[in-house]
Amino acid sequence: MRPDATGHSDPLVASGAPFVASGAPFPAATHTPQALSFVHRAGRWDLSRQARVVGILNVTPDSFSDGGRFLAPERAIAHAERMAEEGADAIDVGGQSTRPGGAGPVGADEEWARVGPVLEALAGRVGIPLSIDTYWGDVARRALDVGVAMVNDVSGLRVDPALADAAARAGAGLVLMHSRGAPAAMHARYEYEDLPGEIGVALAAAAGEAQRRGVARERIALDPGIGFSKRAEQSLEALRGLPRLTALGYPLYIGVSRKSFLGAWSGRPVGERLAAGLAVSVAAYALGARIFRTHDVRETRDALRAAEAVLAPATETESAESRA
């Protein structure tokens, strides 16, 4: 078991040797749409021709991009309604800032105090599924009781595996993200011998654990964790490795919106990273990603529709139906 930058070993990274040890080649990048879907409590997303866009709603005082702007429930609700109008397929609500250099993690009770009133107000109001961004099983359970459709766990079940139990009981969708280290150390410097392979090992192990706890395979999506436990150049390496992750057979969920790795090579501050983020999102779509978490819903949706028109053109029958 190889130690990480904090001197501790990550059991998920050490557990799934077949992904990298078999020596089998992984498929090259393809522009053919994956015949995949993602099932959550509110329905099924057909991802074979249309990518999905998840709007970010941070109910935190210190998020890297919009910290504090939507901490008040009424402002959070207005922003969620705006993203729904812009074409979001879901809203991901989080009360825990995971930005580099942030104030550090908060406990489940404080996190729920931030997100609970917003989720309760939004349930049944915005007309699209809600997602809870948490690694605490208790927060996930309470959010599911309110009616959220999916759970987004940035720890990939490393912090609280019981989160998968709550998702399974509710029949919710579950997004498992790659990261390393304890919550306070997710942005430490880590070294990898084969980054895409090690991401795949960890995510395959997490998905296996979720299924052992009762989450159906069709309800799981995987996120390579761009910007988490990865320096800027490592985030780019993870993106280039997306075709290898498609071999696992799960939908790929990705978030690059306004992240620091975009600024590392563009030199742009947070508020000026839209163009870079859209370019990377389109590249990620071409490499196999199908669900995109973003602050900029309208722009991301338009960019993906354009990418789909080029890379996955509609059939003659579909074109005729759209003109009818």
Active site positions, annotated = 259, 293
Q: What are phi and psi of 152, to 5 degrees?
A: -115, 105
* Residue 308 token pair: 């789909």
DSSP 8-state code for residue 268? -
Helices of type H across 11-53: 11-15, 18-21
Contact between 31 and 214 under an 8 Å Cβ cutoff? The reply is: no
Which residue type sits at 231? R
Residue 45 in 3-state DSSP? strand
Which residue type sits at 107? G
Match 């078999």 to its residue by tokens: 22
Q: What is the 3-state secondary structure (H, E, C) of 123-158?
A: CCCCCCCEEEECCCHHHHHHHHHHCCCEEEECCCCC
User: For the chain, what is the total number of helices (H) and then of strands (E)?
Assistant: 13, 10
| Largest Cα span, the chain | 62
